Structure 1
Amino acid sequence: MIRRLVVALALCLPLPALAADPASAQSGLDALLKQVQDAAGQNARLNAEREQRFLRDKNQQAALVQKAEADLAAAKARADAVRARFAANQKEIAELKAQLQARAGDYVQVQGAVKEAAGAFRAIASESLISAQLPERAATLDALADRDGYAPVADLERFWYDLQFELTESGRIARFKAPVIDAGGARAEREVLRIGSFSAFSDGRYLVFDPQAGALAELTRQPARHWRSLAADYVEAKDGVQPMMIDPSHGSLLAQEALRPSLRERIDQGGVIAYVIIVIGFAGAVLALWQLVYLLRVGARVRGQLADIGHPRADNPLGRVLAAFKGDPAQGIGNAEVLELRLSEAILREIPALERFQPLLRLIIAAGPLLGLVGTVTGMIITFQVIQEQGAGDPRLMAGGISQAMITTVLGLGVAVPMLFVNAILSARSRVLVQILDEQSAGLLARHIETGEGGDASA
């Protein structure tokens, strides 16, 4: 290697200088040789240092490798020990679980029964009116129904108390203060009267339990007025037995009852034709009642006149008929014929007042069902139009036309049938009075013919 360096340096020197001054060239070579020797010595020292440093690093690496192998062996030993301990613990846990199940016996079935009972009672309590008095029991029931492990004894005792409270309060009438949500959504503290778990009301309005709000709420649509009056009377009553509407379905039946339309709403469903039928029926009822009162009053006066036939009075038809020929000087057969004509004329004058309004009532009787039929046809037209536009998938869309058809039919028959009976009564009463007039006039005429004399026919 040194030889190569010398040759390289020699080649690097300028050739003219060597040729011109051999002495200088020799000294330069010596200097160069010396430099080469110094560089070689320095390189040798560097190489020696590098070798020593490499040997040191090699020894350190070997020591580190040995240490790492020792640490790995120790870690493997610890891991094996941990695995062995873990396996032993798992085995011990399995043995303990087996011992626990063996010792628990029926406790597992008891826990399943508790969860099932708590879930079933939670569904009942979520709709029960009694929950308004115990709003905190929902958390206890949720914990029991959703718990995976064994329930604490305190929770089981609380669950038993809730069951007993529900059973006891179901047969008790209670008054208490509770938050109530009105129909507008406002919440206020009010006095509530609860009848078992069936009905609750405040201020004469029926309440149901809202599980989402956790409070009592008024029915958005209250039942009919007579049901609300029962609630008001029950609140005011202090003792004794009072009728009351109860709902075993926790509000479902009350809601269905509240959805029933009132009389005014049913009439509105019938439309204009329904109001026309009602107006006609009301007018017929007023006229029929007026005529019935008139006939009853006239009948009483006629019976009074029959008791005193010799003194005719002008306040009744019979008295006016008898007075038609009083003091008549007629004699003989011809005069009897004149008397008969006068009696017939007097009776004919009385008949219109006795049979008043009967033709109009017969017209109303005939027109009521016909108007109802018109409403029926109109309602069916509306129903078919809805079916054509919306289809027959939702029956509620057709309810309007069907309601109009049925309501008008019912109203038409409801007007015609009572009017038919009333008109029959009026006809019967008027026929009885006309028959009395005919009988008395015929008897009067017969007596006049038998006597064959003029003068006072009533003598």
Structure 2
Amino acid sequence: MNFIKRTLILFGLVAFAAPAMAQDQQATTLDELLQQVREARTEAAERHQERERRFIEARDEQQQMLDDARRAHEREEQRRDRLSRSFEENEEALTELNDRLQVRMGALGELFGVVRQVSGDAQGIVRNSIVSAQMPGRGDMVARLAETRALPSIDQLENLWFLFQEEMTESGKVVRYPTTIVRADGTREDVDVVRVGVFNTIYQDKFLRYLPETGQLVELGRQPAGRYQSMAGSLYSAEQGSITGMAVDPSRGSLLALLIQTPSLGERIQQGGPPGYVIIALGIIGLLLVLERLIFLTMAGQRIKAQVGSGKPNPNNALGRVMGAYAENKDDDVETLELKIDEAILKETPALEARLGAIKIISAVAPLLGLLGTVVGMIRTFQMITLFGAGDPQLMADGISQALMTTAMGLTVAIPLVLLHAVVAAQSKKLIQILEEQSTGIIASHAEKQK
């Protein structure tokens, strides 16, 4: 085995050195060959030792590098553990902060929604408020806040709160300030107006209406009833610190708009149409007849009472004329005298009962005319329904107004005339009863004298 190994080594060395020898020179003898082999063997051994030395050095360096790598690996593993723990801690903190953020974002989102809703409501209030006529531009901030997509700032919230506070404060003030108004004829005029809270604005005895579209105060083309204008005039001319009555519109214009649309007396009469005019004419005639009868019967009653206390007949009253008939026929028998006195009473009765029948007829005809106007109005209403359908109530309003107004006018005329007729008839009957009592007494006295 040793021989084989040596032979293999020798052949290896020869093979290894062969290129070198080939490069130098070729041996010509065995001694030269042996010398070349020795030299090659020595050189190979030296190279082998050098390689071994380098390998050992490299091995030591690699071991050092391996140790360094292992130490670096340990450090990185420790760093990995630290980072893992830090990552887990950060994950827990991040989860907690995310939950807290969601809660706060929910509260802020709810706040944002409430602020936008309140700003929208405030925008409508400020836009239609008559305070804006005195303080223009108040609604710009609210409009921006209502349309914003971002969370409101503290300043914006404070401005919104201040706006509500200002509106509430101004609602309790009566303020006079100069401004430009538009009169009913379209002309502009610089005047001092009086603002009653957030309810009404007046100039002298005229009510004004605020137009949010143009920011102007416009005089109403049609004013409310006279009592409201009188209160407005009293307030406008009142001194500072004084107390005066004033009608306010808590609906900020809605009630006033409905109030000025209420038909006046003349318009209601026009709604009655021809039947209504006839009813009014009959009512006036009836009232004149009643007035004439009351005056006549009152004066006649005073004269009759004066005649009762006087024994001498006076022809200026009914009882005096009856007593004059007795004086002319006092020599006749009782039956004849009674007939003469009855004739005198009958002559006086028509004057005392005159025109009572006409009053009674008017009081009965007035509601019938009202019923006629009702029928005519309903006929017009049904004609409108036939032509245009029942979709638009305004088309039927004219006929319904006539139907209702004529009935109301007929009853308005009939009820007082019936009562006044009863009063006049009772007074007339009372005077006739006095005449009959006095005539009966005269006849009785005459009968006693003849006995």
Which residue of structure 1 aligns with residue 432 of structure 2?
Answer: 434
Which residue of structure 2 aligns with residue 256 of structure 1?
Answer: 258
Q: Distance in 1 between the 2:165 and 2:368 partners?
A: 63
Deviation at 1:173, TM superposition (A): 0.9
* Equivalent residues of 2:330, 2:446 under 8 A apart: no
Larger-gyration structure (1/2): 2
In 2 relative to 1, CA 154–184 (structure 1 residues): closer, same or farther, beyond 3 Å?
A: farther
Query: Which residue identity is paired with 2:351?
Result: A
Q: Distance in 2 between the 1:99 and 1:215 partners?
A: 53
Q: Distance in 1 between the 2:238 and 2:347 partners?
A: 61
Which residue of structure 2 aligns with residue 402 of structure 1?
Answer: 400
Which residue of structure 2 aligns with residue 305 of structure 1?
Answer: 307
Which residue of structure 1 aligns with residue 161 of structure 2?
Answer: 160
1:244 is paired with a residue of what secondary structure?
Answer: coil
Q: Distance in 2 between the 1:212 and 1:149 partners?
A: 28
Deviation at 1:329, TM superposition (A): 4.9
* Equivalent residues of 2:130, 2:210 under 8 A apart: yes
* Equivalent residues of 1:128, 1:197 under 8 A apart: yes
Residue number among 354, 375, 378 corresponding to 2:376 in the alignment: 378
Which residue of structure 2 aligns with residue 35 of structure 1?
Answer: none
Which residue of structure 1 aligns with residue 143 of structure 2?
Answer: 142
Q: Distance in 1 between the 2:319 and 2:331 partners?
A: 21
Deviation at 1:390, TM superposition (A): 0.6
Q: Distance in 2 between the 1:103 and 1:338 partners?
A: 120
Residue number among 343, 352, 355 corresponding to 1:354 in the alignment: 352
Q: Distance in 2 between the 1:248 and 1:113 partners?
A: 26
Structure 1 segment 40-59 matched on structure 2, within 5 A? none
Q: Distance in 2 between the 1:98 and 1:126 partners?
A: 42
Query: Which residue identity is paired with 2:298?
Result: L
In 2 relative to 1, CA 231–390 (structure 1 residues): closer, same or farther, beyond 3 Å?
A: same
Deviation at 1:103, TM superposition (A): 11
Q: Distance in 1 between the 2:343 and 2:310 partners?
A: 20
In 2 relative to 1, CA 145–172 (structure 1 residues): closer, same or farther, beyond 3 Å?
A: same
Deviation at 1:116, TM superposition (A): 2.7
Which residue of structure 2 aligns with residue 183 of structure 1?
Answer: 184
* Equivalent residues of 1:219, 1:255 under 8 A apart: no
Q: TM-score, normalised by structure 1?
A: 0.71
Query: Which residue identity is paired with 2:337?
Result: L
Structure 1 segment 199-348 matched on structure 2, within 5 A? 199-238=200-239, 240-306=242-308, 308-326=309-327, 328-330=329-331, 335-348=333-346
* Equivalent residues of 2:325, 2:340 under 8 A apart: yes
Which residue of structure 1 aligns with residue 363 of structure 2?
Answer: 365
Q: Distance in 2 between the 1:349 and 1:132 partners?
A: 78
In 2 relative to 1, CA 386–326 (structure 1 residues): closer, same or farther, beyond 3 Å?
A: same
1:323 is paired with a residue of what secondary structure?
Answer: helix
Q: Distance in 2 between the 1:182 and 1:153 partners?
A: 43
Q: Distance in 2 between the 1:403 and 1:351 partners?
A: 45
Residue number among 427, 440, 445 corresponding to 2:443 in the alignment: 445
In 2 relative to 1, CA 279–191 (structure 1 residues): closer, same or farther, beyond 3 Å?
A: same
Q: Distance in 2 between the 1:109 and 1:188 partners?
A: 48
Give CA-to-partner distance per residue, 1:149-174, whole Å, 9 cap, x none.
Answer: 24444444433332222111111111
2:338 is paired with a residue of what secondary structure?
Answer: helix
Q: Distance in 2 between the 1:217 and 1:99 partners?
A: 57
In 2 relative to 1, CA 329–360 (structure 1 residues): closer, same or farther, beyond 3 Å?
A: closer
Deviation at 1:327, TM superposition (A): 6.3
Give CA-to-partner distance per residue, 1:434-456, whole Å, 9 cap, x none.
Answer: 00100011011101101217xxx
2:312 is paired with a residue of what secondary structure?
Answer: coil
Which residue of structure 2 aligns with residue 173 of structure 1?
Answer: 174
Deviation at 1:347, TM superposition (A): 1.0
Deviation at 1:246, TM superposition (A): 1.4
Task: List alignment gaps of at least 5 residues for structure 1.
Answer: 1-93, 454-459
1:326 is paired with a residue of what secondary structure?
Answer: helix
Q: Distance in 1 between the 2:290 and 2:222 partners?
A: 39
Q: Give the % identical residues.
A: 41
In 2 relative to 1, CA 309–270 (structure 1 residues): closer, same or farther, beyond 3 Å?
A: same
* Equivalent residues of 1:204, 1:228 under 8 A apart: yes
Deviation at 1:208, TM superposition (A): 2.5
Give CA-to-partner distance per residue, 1:171-208, whole Å, 9 cap, x none.
Answer: 11111122323334444332211111112211322122
Q: Distance in 2 between the 1:391 and 1:302 partners?
A: 67
In 2 relative to 1, CA 346–329 (structure 1 residues): closer, same or farther, beyond 3 Å?
A: closer
* Equivalent residues of 1:330, 1:336 under 8 A apart: no
Deviation at 1:358, TM superposition (A): 0.5
Query: Which residue identity is paired with 1:188?
Result: E
In 2 relative to 1, CA 293–241 (structure 1 residues): closer, same or farther, beyond 3 Å?
A: farther
In 2 relative to 1, CA 143–247 (structure 1 residues): closer, same or farther, beyond 3 Å?
A: same
- Give the total of aligned pairs: 355
Deviation at 1:216, TM superposition (A): 2.2
* Equivalent residues of 2:204, 2:237 under 8 A apart: no
Q: TM-score, normalised by structure 2?
A: 0.73
1:401 is paired with a residue of what secondary structure?
Answer: helix
